[in-house]
Structure 1
Amino acid sequence: MKNFRLVGLFFLVGFIAFAKPAIAQERSINYPDFSWEKVPQYIHIRKAAAFTDEEIKFLSGFPLITLEKTTGSATYGSTDQGSIMAAKAIKTINPNAKILYYRNVICHYGGNTFDKELMKIQAPFLVDQKNGKGKLIRGTVEAYDLSNKAFRDWWVKSAAKICNSKYIDGLFLDGNIKVLEPGFLLKEIGADKKEQVKEGYLSMMASMREALNSEKLMLANIIRARLPESGLEYINYFDGSYLEGFTAPVNLSYPEYLAKGIDAVQRAAQSGKIITMNFGLGESANTTDKIDDTRSKLKDTEGVQDLLNYYMSIFLVCAEKYSYLNIHDGYSVNTKNGVCDSKVWLQQFPEFDKPLGEPKGSATKVGYSYTREFEHASVWVDIEARKGKVTWK
């Protein structure tokens, strides 16, 4: 345990200095295309059936794409094969698109061809220390025991195998906050086991980086203002951070929480990390722990303009090179009885077609109000009033 703590201290020092990547490995980082011409976008998506030609063409317009769990599984028999086939089709149109394969570090979402190997590992899942029951995530999903080295070896090996496909550009890592949040599963597994799981996670992240081809990306759901240093104490394990739950405060007032999050994103982005900022348009349906950014479905797009302006303004006061915005109404684009889960799928908000231009400097902060100038736009946002505006020149 002492050695793991020393490793943790080393990474914290790396975070403070924002120096070289924490993993000692020569890398040729293959970042996505980026331009200030318009507001840069990212997309995070899943569909159980194969994407249509129209959908593939739409996806190929994004420089950075995460193919979520279940992608293509109904058509190709598994998420890993479905993701590879979708990535191959996208790259036929846009070879420069960077496509990430989804894995969760703590939640067992099945449907991959390599799951049968997991069943050969002894005790791969956490159990309640009082009654021995499993499925500790929402009472329906198994939680990985990251203190189990045999499990970690399987997780790293299986993820690397898919990510080293010529059609996949890296790994999207979800569930990190569940591991790092001190209180999550503490009651069920106890303090000692919780610490062992966290230490196993840190070891697994280091191993994952070393197992990947040097050009492959690792993007994690890691920056969250609820953590002591907003997740920046772990950022150097990764090439960047996905962001969700940005406006769902924990242990702080709403403006204090957002200000802390904005500061963390600005620091990470200015250090050269990839940022993908995600905002959902549906009303929040968060659970009490507010770890997952769950939202109700959007009935239509009427009345979302003020929210769209607010979210875009928050993004633009944070954005640097390799920062991307995703405004959505859920990641599922499955269709049932002719009705798609998403009301904005295959559509583009007009604001994303307006000229932006390079920033003229960093954002200026006065109280809880931020302003920033771009070549073709002026940005203002007041996070206490929960209002924002982009004035297009």
Structure 2
Amino acid sequence: MKYVVFSLSISCIPFALTGRIRDRSTFRGFLALCGLMVLLVPVAIAQEPEPSSGDAAAIRPEYPDFSWQRIPLYMHIRKAKTFTNREIAFLAKFPLITFEKANGHQDHGSVEAGTLAAAKAVKKLNPNAKILYYRNVIVHYGDYKVDKQLEEIPGALLRDEQGKTNLVRNRSAAYDLSNPTLRKWWIDSCKVVTADASIDGLFIDGNIKALEPGYLRRQIGAEKKDQTIDGYHLLMNQTREAIGPNKLMIGNILRARFDDGGLEYLDYFDGSYLEGFFHNVGGVSYPQYVAKGIDTMQRAARQGKIIAFTTGFNAPKNTSDLGIDESHGSIESDAAAREALVYPLAIFLICAEEHSYFRVHEGYSANGNDRWMRWLPEYDRPLGPPVGPATKEGYRYSRKFQHAAVQLDIEKRTASIQWIRENRE
């Protein structure tokens, strides 16, 4: 004889499903609390077999290739036209690639078609490369084929009191995530592209804007902002269900500005891209903010999450709304690039675990020049696995690898990487 548990607090479930419970771990705790009031009814039911560990492993997406032999690298790029053969050959060197918004639309008619063309070209040279399709969860960027359907959805975009929709940087529209029809349109657009064998998953951007309580609150009002946050949580759960368990979901989600660094939202994703790492906000000092970011990245990496740490060679002052977006500066010479590489690379190496990847860059566009293809000598140096985790004393960190010793001082903003030659006796 088995027992079926019927909750007497059924009315609590719709409240939970609205997304007012705003992270998955809290949501599970809420359901457990509701389950305290139960009615046990004895019924005869068939015994369900327990899932085996093999079944659990089978539903996890296949992670990108990873090796400690060299610095593990990530690529994040867009080009309005078709990538050249030389560029495709360069891209095929990376185990994890995101093709950004506006990719390939000028030659292929849409971002979807341009992304698929680039992905298929890379896969021809490197079938093991994991390729992510970019979608922003709140900012509406154009040139997608599905934009025509968006025009037919009433109330798809957020509006201010004057009815204006160009609320993001005064030039781009923002999705009203509280609109279920809008959410379905967004999910369906992702599902179609990720169904292609050349696409291994989604890169979901705009999470910080969606979750930051102050972002667009003045323009749309507190009530609508809260509704869009609720809609965001529904959207993430629905997206995972729609694309299936075998596709990756990587979010731009870890950021020291959150109470728990974004770890409170990481259950939605297989990993996180990191940017804006050095732009302290909320009155927190630079070393405090970066130390929290390091701790957050370390904890996520040790959980087995994919980490895609990106930063500019040098970062101009962040002037974006609420300090959310990252700005980039150009760096002309390879010598200057090598010098600027040391500090962000040291931070990455202090945090890296298996399936952590690094990218330093001048921006995401391949339209202007070929400096995005810059390959520095450090990328070919033997690294080897870490001897152990990093040690920390105040704001100073150190860590050893088989072929490198890393020193980092985030208060002084200095770092050194001593590359250890192999003993060839």
Same fold (TM over 0.5): yes
For the pair 1:172 / 2:203, whether they are aligned, the reply is yes
- Structure 2 Cα separation of the partners of residues 93 and 25 of structure 1: 28
Task: Name the residue aligned to 2:324.
Answer: 291
Task: Name the residue aligned to 1:242.
Answer: 273
The alpha carbon displacement at 1:196 in A equals 0.5
Point out where structure 2 has 5 or more consecutive residues left out of the alignment: 1-13, 30-55, 421-425
Deviation string 1:111-154 (CA, Å, 9 cap, x unpaired) is 111111111110100011x2221110001000000000000001
- Structure 2 Cα separation of the partners of residues 78 and 298 of structure 1: 31
The alpha carbon displacement at 1:285 in A equals 4.5
The alpha carbon displacement at 1:263 in A equals 0.4
- Structure 1 Cα separation of the partners of residues 356 and 70 of structure 2: 12
Structure with the bigger RCO (C-alpha within 8 Å, sep 6+) is 1
- Structure 2 Cα separation of the partners of residues 323 and 298 of structure 1: 25
Contact 2:159 2:220 in 1 (8 A): yes
- Structure 2 Cα separation of the partners of residues 326 and 387 of structure 1: 19
For the pair 1:102 / 2:134, whether they are aligned, the reply is yes
388, 393, 397: which one aligns with 1:366: 393
For the pair 1:320 / 2:353, whether they are aligned, the reply is yes
* AA aligned opposite 1:74: Q
- Structure 1 Cα separation of the partners of residues 68 and 27 of structure 2: 32
For the pair 1:259 / 2:273, whether they are aligned, the reply is no
Contact 1:25 1:210 in 2 (8 A): no
Contact 1:285 1:296 in 2 (8 A): no
- Structure 1 Cα separation of the partners of residues 365 and 304 of structure 2: 30
The alpha carbon displacement at 1:26 in A equals 7.2
* AA aligned opposite 1:36: W
384, 397, 402: which one aligns with 1:357: 384
Q: 1:346 to 1:25 in 2, by over 3 A?
A: closer
- Structure 1 Cα separation of the partners of residues 339 and 57 of structure 2: 45
SS at match of 1:228: coil
Contact 1:109 1:141 in 2 (8 A): yes
SS at match of 2:139: coil
The alpha carbon displacement at 1:189 in A equals 1.2
- Structure 2 Cα separation of the partners of residues 204 and 350 of structure 1: 42
Q: 1:184 to 1:86 in 2, by over 3 A?
A: same
The alpha carbon displacement at 1:238 in A equals 0.3
Aligned length: 378
* AA aligned opposite 2:359: N
Deviation string 1:26-68 (CA, Å, 9 cap, x unpaired) is 7232100000001100000010010000000000000000000
Point out where structure 1 has 5 or more consecutive residues left out of the alignment: 16-23
The alpha carbon displacement at 1:7 in A equals 4.2
Matches within 5 A, 1:156-167: 156-167=187-198
For the pair 1:114 / 2:114, whether they are aligned, the reply is no
Task: Name the residue aligned to 1:20.
Answer: none
Deviation string 1:182-228 (CA, Å, 9 cap, x unpaired) is 11111111111111100100000000000013211000000000111
Contact 1:12 1:234 in 2 (8 A): no
Task: Name the residue aligned to 1:206.
Answer: 237
The alpha carbon displacement at 1:10 in A equals 4.0
Alignment RMSD (CA, Å)? 1.8
The alpha carbon displacement at 1:6 in A equals 6.2
Matches within 5 A, 1:75-90: 75-90=107-122
Deviation string 1:364-386 (CA, Å, 9 cap, x unpaired) is 00000000011111111000010
- Structure 2 Cα separation of the partners of residues 107 and 150 of structure 1: 16
- Structure 2 Cα separation of the partners of residues 169 and 53 of structure 1: 22
Contact 1:14 1:236 in 2 (8 A): no
- Structure 2 Cα separation of the partners of residues 328 and 75 of structure 1: 25
* AA aligned opposite 1:2: F
Matches within 5 A, 1:1-393: 2-3=15-16, 4=18, 7-8=21-22, 10-12=24-26, 27-128=59-160, 130-251=161-282, 252-288=284-320, 289-335=322-368, 340=369, 343=371, 345-393=372-420
| TM score, norm. by length of structure 2 | 0.86
* AA aligned opposite 2:340: L
Contact 2:23 2:233 in 1 (8 A): no
* AA aligned opposite 2:72: P
The alpha carbon displacement at 1:70 in A equals 1.0
- Structure 1 Cα separation of the partners of residues 195 and 330 of structure 2: 35
Q: Percent identity?
A: 49
Task: Name the residue aligned to 1:19.
Answer: none
- Structure 1 Cα separation of the partners of residues 294 and 97 of structure 2: 23
- Structure 2 Cα separation of the partners of residues 213 and 177 of structure 1: 24
SS at match of 1:303: helix
Contact 2:399 2:406 in 1 (8 A): yes
| TM score, norm. by length of structure 1 | 0.93
SS at match of 1:145: coil
- Structure 1 Cα separation of the partners of residues 314 and 74 of structure 2: 18
